[in-house]
Amino acid sequence: MGDTDEEIEHRIIMEIVVDAYDEQERAMGWYYSLENEMTFPFEAKCIARVATSPLKAGEVVIVTGLADSDVCLHDMFVDIGFGGGTLAVPLSQIDPVDATEETCQIIGDWHYWVDKGYHF
């Protein structure tokens, strides 16, 4: 689960899930933080194979937005251009390649949350 990063922990507790008392409130805290901090579109690379996603490790995609909130009640998903349409993939599956500093930071915070085994 890796080392604890006090700066990231503080950001998560004081900014992202502050005043969240149940799973849905924590999910919505993450959702709105991601929505506010990420700038779309941006280029990202698939960093892990996930059984529910067709992306392969190393594949580069364009992230076009945050998936609808109803899709993000148990995990955070982003929309990518795929096969002439849009596909929602887990945010934990991608890493920004060409994105704003704020986008990189909030995605890094999400990866940290997931890697630490935290849940909503």
Calpha distance 96→104 (Å, rounded): 6
Predicted confidence at residue 3, as pLDDT, reads: 84
What pLDDT sits at residue 41?
A: 98
Q: Look at the block and give the residue holding tokens 């690379």.
A: 45
Give the pLDDT confidence of 25-46 residue by residue, as tens digits.
999 999 999 999 999 999 999 9
Q: Cα separations (Å) of 97 from 41, 105, 118?
A: 12, 12, 25
Whether the per-residue pLDDT at 2 is higher than 80: the answer is no
pLDDT of residue 33: 97
pLDDT band at 1 (very low <50, low <70, confident <90, very high): low
pLDDT in tens, 69-94: 999 999 999 999 998 999 999 999 99
Tell me the domain boundaries of the chain. 6-115
pLDDT at residue 58 is higher than 70: yes
SS3 5: coil
Fold category of 6-115 in CATH: SH3 type barrels. (2.30.30)
